[in-house]
Amino acid sequence: MEELDTQPTTPEAPGAESAGWGRFFLDILETLLLSAALFLVINALSARVRVDGFSMLPTLHDGEFVLVNRLAYRFGAPERGDIVVFHYPPDPTQDLIKRVIGLPGDTISIQGGMVLVNGEPLFEPYIAQSPLYAGTWVVPAGHLFVLGDNRNDSSDSHSWGMLPFENIVGKAVLIYWPFQSLQLIDHYDFAKATND
């Protein structure tokens, strides 16, 4: 003899379906808010910039994407050899990327294709070719002297002057795109890299 289930079925509460949809939309809203918060935090800590041009050859190539540490100089000072992204002093709507050569108080001299910092010649294995120009500059307080690695095809401190600290966006730390170019950006310690 077949038994029948005589238990009455309870109909779903009228608000249960709408409560399910409400929870679904709440989950989406929480995910969007968390994503926005993470985006804002990541942007506060770092910047992503595209290299546009050839002034940093052979170190950086046109079209590469670079990760920039925005906090690098909030807790420390720029050092010779750092590659920095900054707002171009003559036109702050443009961002440039160059290498730090001189710090406040330094005397930079370029002569005979050689860069000298406080009379000491720099050994620069990263440049495209020796500079074909000459000059002497004294770096004032609150400023840096920056040059492109492609010395003879770069708009930098030798042509437009010193870089004020307040224009610095951050320190370039990583090439992340294209993927085959993925690498940390080398820092050269000029104090140890002089010709003897």
Q: Spell out the domain ranges in the chain.
A: 47-184
Cβ neighbourhood burial of 54 (10 Å; 0-12, 13-18, 19+): middle
Cβ neighbourhood burial of 73 (10 Å; 0-12, 13-18, 19+): middle
Find the catalytic residue in 55, 109, 154, 157.
Answer: 55
Per-residue pLDDT at 187: 76
17: confidence class by pLDDT, cuts 50, 70, 90: low
- Residue in the block written with tokens 């770092």: 46
Task: Mention every residue, 6+ apart, whose C-beta is less than 8 A from residue 64.
Answer: 50, 51, 175, 177, 178, 181
pTM of the model: 0.76
Active site residue 192: no
Per-residue pLDDT at 162: 98
Residue 192 pLDDT > 50: no
- Residue in the block written with tokens 């942007």: 43
Q: What is the mean pLDDT of residues 72-98?
A: 94
Render pLDDT for 28-74 as a digit per residue (tens, 0 to 9).
777 777 766 655 555 555 577 888 999 999 999 999 999 999 998 98
CATH superfamily placement of domain 47-184: Umud Fragment, subunit A (2.10.109.10)
Find the catalytic residue in 98, 109, 154, 157.
Answer: 98
Per-residue pLDDT at 186: 80
Q: Distance (Å, rounded) from C-alpha 16 to C-alpha 28? A: 19
Active site residue 55: yes
Q: Tell me which of 39-43, 109-113, 180-184 is least confident.
A: 39-43
Question: Longest C-alpha distance within the chain, in Å?
Answer: 110
